[in-house]
Amino acid sequence: MVNASLLLLAEALAMTACHRTRPIDDAGISIQQRITPQPPRVGPASVAIQLSDAAARPVEAVRITVEADMSHPGMSPVFAEARKEKPGDYLATLNLNMGGDWVVLTHVELPGGKKLERQMDLRGVASR
C-alpha cells in the first residue's frame, strides 16, 4: 500500500515536473523542449529542442545553447551546446549533477542575429 502510494506520489511529481513547453514568440517561432529521462534524476539528461514557424515548418538556428541552474542560488550551473539532429531538431545533453529543482534555459540564435530564450522548470530531479 505504502509502495503503491509512493509510486503515485512519484508519478504526480513527475507530471508536475514540466518537461515540455510550447511557447510561440512574437516572431512566430515555436520552441518545443522535451527532457528525458522522466522522472528526471541526477546524471545525463537529454534536452530535445524543436524549432518551427507558424506554419509548422522546421526553423534552422545558428546556435542553440542550453543552461541549467538550480533554484537555489550559488550552485554550479551546467551548460551544453545543442547539436543539429535534422532540420529544426536539436539535441543537447546536460549533466544534472545535483538533486532538487532545476531551471533549464534555452538560448536560441537565429539567422540574422535574432535571439530567443526559453525557461523551463525541471522540478524534483531525484538524487539517486
Partner 1 sequence: MPATIPNPSRSGGHFDDPFGRDDEPDNHGFDLLRVPLIGSFLSWRHSRTVLQIPVLLVSVAMIVHGLLGPSLAPKNLATVLGWVHFRGALVLVLLCAGNFFCLACPFMLVRNAMRRFIQPRFNWPRPLRNKWIPVGLFALILFSYELFSMWSSPWITAWVIVGYFAAVLVIDGLFKHAAFCKFVCPIGQFNFIAATVSPTEVAVRDHEVCDSCRTNDCIRGRREPAADLVILQRGCELALFQPAKVGNMDCTFCLDCVHACPHDNVGILSRLPASELMTDPQRSGIGFFSRRKDIAALTVVFCFGALMNAFGMVSPVYAAESWLSIKLHIHQEAPILGLLFAFFLVVEPAVLLGLAGWVTLAWAGVRRAWLPLIVRYTYALVPLGFGMWLAHYGYHFFTGLYTIVPVTQSAFVDLGWPILGDPRWTLVGLPQAIVQPIEFGFLLLGLAGSLSIVWRLAEDDSEDHALRVFTPWATVCVLLFLASLWLMTQPMDMRATIMAG
127/123 Cα distance (integer angstroms): 12
Minimum Å gap between C-beta 53 and partner 1 is: 28
In this structure, what DSSP letter does residue 55 have?
A: T
37/121 Cα distance (integer angstroms): 15
Minimum Å gap between C-beta 67 and partner 1 is: 7
Minimum Å gap between C-beta 114 and partner 1 is: 18
Contact 103, 69 (CB under 8 A): yes
Near partner 1 by CB under 8 A: residue from 59, 64, 70, 92: 70
34/22 Cα distance (integer angstroms): 10
| Residue 127 engages partner 1 in binding (rule: CB under 8 A) | yes
User: Residue 3 or 111: which CB sits closer to partner 1?
Assistant: 3
Size of site (CB under 8 A) for partner 1: 31
Question: Taking CB under 8 A as the rule, which mask of x and - marks residues 11-50 in contact with partner 1?
Answer: -xx-xx-------------------------x--------
For 9, list phi and psi in degrees, rounded to 5: -65, -45
Contact 35, 104 (CB under 8 A): yes
In this structure, what DSSP letter does residue 2 have?
A: H
Question: Taking CB under 8 A as the rule, which mask of x and - marks residues 93-122 in contact with partner 1?
Answer: -----xxxx-x-x-------------x---
89/4 Cα distance (integer angstroms): 37
Query: Where does this chain bind partner 1 (CB under 8 A)?
Result: 2, 5-6, 9, 12-13, 15-16, 42, 67, 69-77, 79, 98-101, 103, 105, 119, 123-124, 127-128
